[in-house]
Structure 1
Amino acid sequence: MPELRRALERELQSKPGRSLEIAGFRRAAVLVCLRSEGGVLRTTLIVRAARAPTHAGDVAFPGGLVEQGDRSLVDTALREAEEEVQLARESVEVLGLLDDTPSGAGFIITPVVGWVRGAPHLQPDGREVSECLEVSIEELSAPDRLTCVGARQIGGRSYPALEYRLERHLIWGATARVVQQLLERFAPAGGLSA
């Protein structure tokens, strides 16, 4: 899938993610990990632990709030992925950013798209993350997975309230909007075929 990786990188570089500012919202970043396994393109999602300080039980991308030592939003996303699922930052090639996405909890999330080299053994930290999900992009893009259940006002703007239904999990809120952005970026990059 090197052709798909290069095409997606070109797409992300030609149309960089748009930055968003909303007064009172805190900055966060997530790592949208992509990797090829047996010719199947996958992304890594996590299930927040039941005792996680925020978003308990939610499905999300690895990520979290910007901390004082972070050099950039990319650094935040890579640090959080290391902490939450033990994904070594050296194994991630950053391809670009998607548009900032606000959450109803008062965060502005910057999605960092990264291509993971090799087949890392991801391990949930157990404190904030209870499970790692390896989901194929093809499964996420199946027409019966996505439902729009209305709209949500966040920071004075209206956003679609999306849900992606997987076999055992529901992706909703800001994470669903990030998934939608990612899938929309695949069309100009040549779709899902390698």
Structure 2
Amino acid sequence: MSILVTGFDAGHDQVNASAVLTASLRDDLPQPLYPLRSQLHFAILPLSASDLREAVLVQIAVCQPRFCVFTGQARGRNKVHLERLATNLRDFDSPDVAGSQSRGERIEPDGPAAYWSTLPGQEAMIEQLNRQGIPAALSNHAGNHLCNQLLYQVLHWAQQNGSGMACGLVHIPPLPIQVRHQWPETPFMLLEMSRAALAQILLVLVQQTGASAS
């Protein structure tokens, strides 16, 4: 059993909360995740619409995951959100690192309008996080930028290839340093809370599916 956890590169910004979180888990795994350390694989993906699909498929080929847990930062949100849906739409309100700013374009020309997340146990994950004092909720909209594109493209690939791999997206608030230097009015979450949230999500995932943690 293998789990791929990803974040996004900072791109033109100095910090991306999802990259910081992913690197932090990779380099300093929380103690509750020690039983899973040989099954966890971490990757930072490019903020590039044209390069994203190939970059994540390379990681999938390397570790052959049973689950993909993608993370992305969500400016303006004050909770950890698990996304229910990925839509077949690029409508960027800001350009990617290559300067591309798609407006109203399909991600996959012949793909369906949307895919449901296939990550199991999301309701149980939300309940567990809130019980532990971590604000969390389900979300019906992953945005129309690269987080949504990533989830849609991987779900589409899994559908087209008959893969049993399950995928989901976790949106986290920005970090305090981003509020100080970039977005003074936006909500934020401390890195330690984001780390605890991802650890619990991964633990519930394993428990809900009966996957081995050894």
TM-score by length of 1: 0.29
Richer in helix (by share):
2
TM-score by length of 2: 0.27
